[in-house]
Amino acid sequence: MIRAVGLRKRFGDFEAVRGIDVDVRRGESFGFLGPNGAGKSSTMRMVAAVSPVTEGELRILGMDPATDGPAIRARIGVCPQDDTVDTELSVRENLYIYGRYFGLPRKEVRARVDELLEFVQLTEKANAVVDDLSGGMKRRLTIARSLVNRPEILLLDEPTTGLDPQARHVVWERLFALKQQGVTLVLTTHYMDEAEQLTDRLVVMDKGLIVAEGSPLSLIAEHSTREVAELRFPVPPEGGSHAPMAAQVEDLADRVEVLPDRLLLYTDDGEECVAKVHERGLEPAATLVRRSSLEDVFLRLTGRTLVD
Ligand SMILES: Nc1ncnc2c1ncn2[C@@H]1O[C@H](COP(=O)(O)OP(=O)(O)OP(=O)(O)O)[C@@H](O)[C@H]1O
């Protein structure tokens, strides 16, 4: 569905995407995971055929965005990072006008709009003005709009950024339903839980490069331990650090990461590791044992956390 080889994007002297290879297959849900500024949006805009490729090869549905932009745009859906729906129009009008852009006949657009309102659970809000919708409803409207032309590929740039947990779950559930219908999903996110929930396969991006690729589970298995014990020690609020504590426990885990507010001990048995910490007479103010996540993979590969 999408193939990129050595893809680059430069803005003047600055290179936002520095030569990436990507292959997205039909029907899969593919993710770009990385922190702000990693180059995810720049990549998505090239894939959406709205931003020219600086260098490298890019094919969308077998077509070249440089020469086949309109044909590509007719077959994909784009859900941008900020909701760009018209706030003065009603929910229904937004979808209707967009459908007409695609040159669909009036009757067909009306039927399609009803179907989409139902799909994103906005039928009851059909006549509401967009300004009066919650953030989650606006996002669902943007998703509905991107589906007007029955796209084969749906591109979503940070689909749940800024939404509360409940609204995020509704969006995830609708995206999952689309995947079930056979739509290929390509999304960017800086939320590791979103990547874990929604993607079959993902690339981890950092500073314009891909640093790892695989399924969420395979990435975790490859780059992290089964569990993580998080320890918070009482440290002085001014200039205090967890680094001295790390030295006292580093032999208890496969790896130790020092964050500003806690230590992460990577181990296959978190409870046992915490017990050994206590046996040493050390007394963390709080402990938490959890499974490894994509956040741990990112930390391992880049030395930084996904969200600053
Ligand atoms: N039009 C532009 N002109 C100059 N620099 C740009 C432009 N668009 C993006 N950049 C820069 O390219 C880098 C990558 O930006 P990009 O938006 O692709 O990252 P991202 O991973 O999507 O992050 P975000 O989540 O913040 O959108 C950033 O340093 C950004 O400032």
Query: From the CA of 150, how far away is ligand 1's center (Å)?
Result: 29
Query: From the CA of 267, how far away is ligand 1's center (Å)?
Result: 36
Mean local confidence (pLDDT), 280-289: 94
H or E, element range at 9:
strand 2-11
The structural domains of the chain, ordered by start, are 2-220 (3.40.50.300), 225-291 (3.30.70)
Cβ atoms within 10 Å of 102's Cβ, excluding its own? 14
DSSP state of 63: B
Q: Which residue owns the Cα nearest ligand 1 atom 2? A: 11
Query: From the CA of 39, how far away is ligand 1's center (Å)?
Result: 6
H or E, element range at 196:
helix 192-198
| Full-model pTM | 0.91
Q: Per-residue pLDDT tens for 21-43?
A: 999 999 999 999 998 899 999 99
Which residue type does 17 have?
A: V
Q: Per-residue pLDDT tens for 104-157?
A: 889 999 999 999 999 999 999 999 999 999 999 999 999 999 999 999 999 999
Q: Which residue owns the Cα nearest ligand 1 atom 26? A: 36
Query: From the CA of 37, how far away is ligand 1's center (Å)?
Result: 5
Q: Which residue owns the Cα nearest ligand 1 atom 10? A: 16
Atom number of ligand 1 nearest to Cα 158: 25
Tell me what pLDDT residue 162 has: 87
Q: Give CA–CA dist 138/277, Å, rounded.
A: 48
Quickly tell me which residue has 């690729």 as its tokens.
Answer: 213
Least Cα distance to 170 among 146, 143, 208, 140 occurs for 140
Tell me what pLDDT residue 269 has: 96
Query: From the CA of 41, how far away is ligand 1's center (Å)?
Result: 7
